[in-house]
Structure 1
């Protein structure tokens, strides 16, 4: 089961092509989380947009899947924001999980955002991009005052290849969505869900530090990390690995990827998942 990133970046429609090979070996489940994608509507309560609520939702879904498909456990995959949920679920319910796979694993949000900002500014200075330097210095170090400021940093991070090594994250998402013949109305719903989720989850997400909160997990743990990921800096995963206690733990490096190795190096990611069977 995949826990998508964002928060709010539901991936059912843009992950079909990359995950196709996995479907020959697994029952693959993509879940539009509360307030995201097809789960977004005007009736979703802001008060329910909390990590605890999402963990309850996910646990309920996992228990349903295990019962429906007559399985003992599942493989759980969390990407970015979803990796927070993945770690928390693995800690709370190891009895439901064969292994946890974190992609672009979040460790310490505040420290990660600071590293990401400094990397982006350094790249702007190195390339003598005065517009980028000016905009980045104007918003200053995180925590940012608003989502617009965060968006400015992410815009330049993407331009300096700290999000995807090749290509553009937004083009990649929407290109894969068009391959699934999604409607314009769904795309509008998808974008609204991202905005709604960010507005209501970003502040809680910023206080996450799994280094302190989850130093031990009772399931095998694998981190799939892009060498060029400065959206969620890979250095912090290396630090987490030093203190993490788990039955098995390993970093799988994707040498030609940024924050989306499962989209940038599809075959390598799929082959790794299949190797766990």
Structure 2
């Protein structure tokens, strides 16, 4: 394991070990990067699976997650082909949902072994919630609980609901340009990424991605130079484009109603009341049908698709009051 920006200090008086490190680790025979932060390495682990595909979040996770570091080992992973883990050597044939689930499984096992823990908390955001749900169903023995944020359920139905919300909003407020562009691209499935981008552009303007500001603005606001790295922006941009191009078709065919019907650990869905990037109605419907020992929707009243970034204090409170109770 190669380390970069490594900070590991021990408080001898209280026997606490602080960690703040960004490291390269071999996962699935490929160099991938993880960030680990905590005030005490005996804390339970919470692993975040970022969205996108390709929206690697090591560079912009610190500010929103900082309060969690007192109570958890906060782990962020730039997935295969994304962010720090982007490389021109990544094989397109390895950009498969099944491969990402295997990568995540290997990472979880590595973290548990390293910190001498039995299980951890797995958090999947948007695209990451596809990986997360599959892994939670496959390896419940590794997890205390699974948390889905902007949880994917049925991508085809979700895209249609997202389009209808956007064009209905455009008509409601009388935005003729938006109506014209949305009518021109028509309902999904879209003919290409550009058409999908037009729909997402207007969705963002109408508050279906973030309640305040834009999704890009939210990322920029949270970026820290120390976590971005020397070639961070270049790797981020290249990785995002590469990941989306090679995973879009697979993502659009995902239907967890059929693929993941049971998860044998507690399941929590964090839903923004305004989320129409991955419409919250479908997440709620999916959770109702999912078999799990405990199921619960956590509502974020002032958020859309990224409640953990839009309302980080509410997310922290959820982690303290709900997740820690799952440890047995």
Corresponding position of 1:244 = 290
The Cα of 1:185 is off from its aligned counterpart by 2.7
Deviation digits for residues 88-125 of structure 1 (CA, Å, limit 9, x no counterpart): 00000000011000000000000000000010000111
Q: Which deviates the most, 138-147 or 152-161? A: 138-147
Are the equivalent residues in 2 in contact too, given 1:112–1:236 (CA < 8 A)? yes
Corresponding position of 1:264 = 310
Equivalent residue runs for 1:141-160 within 5 Å: 141-160=187-206
Equivalent residue runs for 1:1-277 within 5 Å: 1-178=47-224, 180=226, 182=228, 185-275=231-321, 276-277=323-324
Higher share in helix: 1
Measure the CA separation in 1 of the matches of 2:160 and 2:311.
27
Measure the CA separation in 2 of the matches of 1:164 and 1:221.
24
Does the residue aligned with 1:98 lie in a helix, a strand or coil? Answer: strand
Q: Structure 1 length normalisation: TM-score?
A: 0.98
Are the equivalent residues in 2 in contact too, given 1:16–1:180 (CA < 8 A)? no
Measure the CA separation in 1 of the matches of 2:184 and 2:91.
34
Are the equivalent residues in 2 in contact too, given 1:14–1:180 (CA < 8 A)? no
Corresponding position of 2:17 = none
The Cα of 1:218 is off from its aligned counterpart by 0.4
Deviation digits for residues 186-218 of structure 1 (CA, Å, limit 9, x no counterpart): 112101111100000010011111112212110
Are the equivalent residues in 1 in contact too, given 2:166–2:202 (CA < 8 A)? yes
Measure the CA separation in 1 of the matches of 2:171 and 2:90.
43
Q: What runs of 5+ residues in structure 2 fail to find an aligned partner?
A: 1-46
Are the equivalent residues in 2 in contact too, given 1:109–1:208 (CA < 8 A)? yes
Does the residue aligned with 1:17 lie in a helix, a strand or coil? Answer: helix
Q: 1:88 to 1:229 in 2, by over 3 A?
A: same
Q: 1:266 to 1:134 in 2, by over 3 A?
A: same
Are the equivalent residues in 2 in contact too, given 1:222–1:250 (CA < 8 A)? yes
Does the residue aligned with 1:28 lie in a helix, a strand or coil? Answer: strand
Q: 1:135 to 1:184 in 2, by over 3 A?
A: farther
Q: What runs of 5+ residues in structure 1 fail to find an aligned partner?
A: none
Q: 1:181 to 1:5 in 2, by over 3 A?
A: closer
Are the equivalent residues in 2 in contact too, given 1:74–1:98 (CA < 8 A)? yes
Deviation digits for residues 26-73 of structure 1 (CA, Å, limit 9, x no counterpart): 111100000000000110110000001101111011000000000000
The Cα of 1:238 is off from its aligned counterpart by 1.6
Q: Which of 1 and 2 has higher RCO (CA within 8 Å, sep 6+)?
A: 1
**Rg comparison, structure with higher value:** 2
Structure 1 vs Structure 2 CA RMSD: 1.1
